[in-house]
Amino acid sequence: MVPKDERDNQVGRAIVEDDAALAAYYEELDGFETGALWTVANEIEPWEPTPSSAPTIWRHADLRERIFRALELVKPEQAGRRVVYLRNPKRRDVSACCGWLFSGIQVMSPGERTSAHNHAASALRFVMEGTGAYTVVDGHEITLGARDFVITPNGTWHDHGVREDGEISMWQDGLDIPLTNALEANFYEVHPDLYQKPNYPLNDSPNSYGAPGLLPVDDTWQHAYSPLMKFAWEPTYEGVLNYAKATDGSPYDGVIMRYTNPKTGGHVMQTMGAHMQMLRPGEATKAHRHTGNVIYHAAKGSGYSVIGGVRYDWTEKDIFCVPAWTWHEHANMSDSEDACLFSFNDFPVMEKLGFYREEPYRDNDGHQPVTGNA
Ligand SMILES: [Fe+2]
Ligand SMILES: [Fe+2]
pLDDT digits (tens, 9 = 90+) for 108-136: 999 999 999 999 999 999 999 999 999 99
| Ramachandran sector of residue 120 (left: φ over 0; alpha: ψ -120 to 50; beta: rest) | alpha
β-pairing verdict for 294-300 and 339-345: antiparallel
- Residue 188 sits in a domain whose CATH number is 2.60.120.10
287 C-alpha to ligand 2 centroid (Å): 8
In this predicted model, what pLDDT tens digit does every residue of 314-328 receive, in sequence order? 999 999 999 999 999
User: Per-residue pLDDT averaged across 147-170, rounded?
Assistant: 98
Proportion of the chain above pLDDT 90, given as a percent: 97
Residue 241 clears pLDDT 90, i.e. is over it: yes
Q: What is the 3-state secondary structure (H, E, C) of the chain?
A: CCCCCHHHCCECECCCCCCHHHHHHHHHHHCCCCCCHHHCHHHHCCCCCCCCCCCEEECHHHHHHHHHHHHHHCCHHHHCCCEEECCCCCCHHHCCCECCEEEEEEEECCCCECCCEEECCCEEEEEEECCCEEEEECCEEEEECCCCEEEECCCCCEEEEECCCCCCEEEEEEECHHHHHHCCCCCEEECCCCCCCCCCCCCHHHHHHCCCCCCCCCCCCCCCCCCCCEECHHHHHHHHHHHHCCCCCECCCEEEEECCCCCCCCCCCCCCEEEEEEECCCCECCCEEECCCEEEEEEECCEEEEECCEEEEECCCCEEEECCCCCEEEEECCCCCCEEEEEEECHHHHHHCCCCCEEECCCHHHCCCCCEEC
- Residue 29: predicted pLDDT: 98
Local confidence band at 3 (pLDDT 50, 70, 90 cut-offs) = low
CA of 57 to the centre of ligand 1 (A): 24
pLDDT at 1 over 80: no
Q: What is residue 77's predicted lDDT score, i.e. its pLDDT?
A: 86
* pTM over the 0.95 mark: yes
Can you tell me the distance from the alpha carbon of 227 to that of 210, in angstroms, rounded to the nearest whole number? Answer: 9
Task: Give per-residue pLDDT as tens, 58-76.
Answer: 999 999 999 999 999 999 8
Q: Are 56 and 88 in contact (CB under 8 A)?
A: yes
**C-alpha to C-alpha distance for 148 and 236, rounded to whole angstroms:** 9
Ligand 1 centroid from CA 114, angstroms: 10
- Say how many Å lie between the CA of residue 7 and the centre of ligand 2: 27
Query: What is the CA(280)–ligand 2 centre distance, in A?
Result: 17
Residue 44 lies in a domain: no
The type of residue at 267 is H
For 168-186, what is the mean pLDDT? 98
Average pLDDT over residues 88-97: 98
> Quick one: average pLDDT of 214-225?
97
Q: Is residue 257 part of a domain?
A: yes
pLDDT tens across 16-62, in order? 999 999 999 999 999 999 999 999 999 999 999 999 999 999 999 99
- Within a domain: residue 73? yes
Closest ligand to C-alpha of residue 305 is 2
Q: Classify residue 42: in a domain, yes or no.
A: no
- Computed over every residue of the chain, the mean pLDDT equals 97
Instruction: Name the residue range of residue 209's domain.
Output: 56-373
Q: Are 121 and 180 in contact (CB under 8 A)?
A: yes
- Answer whether residue 27 is part of any domain: no
CA of 117 to the centre of ligand 1 (A): 6
Q: What is the mean pLDDT of residues 255-275?
A: 98
Tell how far the Cα of 180 is from the centroid of ligand 2, in angstroms.
Answer: 23
Is residue 6 a part of any domain in this protein?
A: no
Domain presence at residue 167: yes
Total domains in the chain come to: 1
Task: Give the model's pLDDT for residue 81.
Answer: 92
**Which positions ≥6 away from 331 have C-beta within 8 Å?**
279, 283, 284, 285, 303, 304, 305, 306
Mean pLDDT for 157-177 is 98
Instruction: List C-alpha distances in Å: 88 to 99, 239, 304.
Output: 9, 33, 19
**In a domain? residue 233:** yes
pLDDT, average across residues 168-187: 98
